[in-house]
Structures are given as structure tokens and as C-alpha cells.
Amino acid sequence: MNKLQLQTKRQNLLRQLQNLDPWIEGSLVSTSRKCGKKNCACYHNGPKHPVLFVTGKEAGKTVCLYIPRQLEAEVKQWVQNYKKLKALIRQISEVQKEIIRLRE
């Protein structure tokens, strides 16, 4: 590929990147827990409630962020977007390396 083709490729990748917004860094962790209500079945060893967290490092510490039920589908998408974002950044970086190798 020549420089112009590589720049076009980068533009396409950048466009894909913009379409990924929003994104969130972290991993999805689903678990189940008791809600704490004494009148709930879970309190009497019934089935617990499934809950979703996003875990990730913040200032070197692992942080668990609780995801409210009504946001679960959206947040799953944001986590996916972040993975795609990382892949795109890598691809754009590869394009830039190709441009350097052209030595123009």
C-alpha cells in the first residue's frame, strides 16, 4: 500500500473508533447475592439475586463497580466497545508503522 492508501485506511479505522462511543474499561463479573430484606426468599436460604459488576484497576487497586439492572445491557455493550477500541488502536498503530516503513 502507498501512503495515500494507508491514510485512507487510517481514516476508516478512526471512523469505526468514533462509532464505538461510549466505552468502559474493565471486565464483567456476574455473581449472586442476598439483598438483605428479611421478607425476601433469599434471606431464608432461597435463590439469591444475580448481580453484575465491572471490575478493573483504578490507581493500582482492583475496583468493583456495581451495575444497576436497568443498565446491564448497555454496560455490556460498553465493555465490548472497549475491547474493539483496543483492537482498533492497535490496527491504527500498525498503519502508522507501515507509513514509517515507506520512508517517504
Asked if 42 touches Zn ion (CB under 5 A), the answer is yes
List the one residue from 35, 63, 64, 89 that touches Zn ion (CB under 5 A). 35
Q: DSSP readout, 25-83? A: -SEEEEEEE----TTSGGGGT-PPEEEEEEEEEETTEEEEEEE-GGGHHHHHHHHHHHH
DSSP designation for 59: T
Total residues interacting with Zn ion, rule: CB under 5 A: 3
Asked if 40 touches Zn ion (CB under 5 A), the answer is yes
Select 51 or 92, whichever has its Cβ closest to Zn ion. 51
Site for Zn ion, rule CB under 5 A: 35, 40, 42
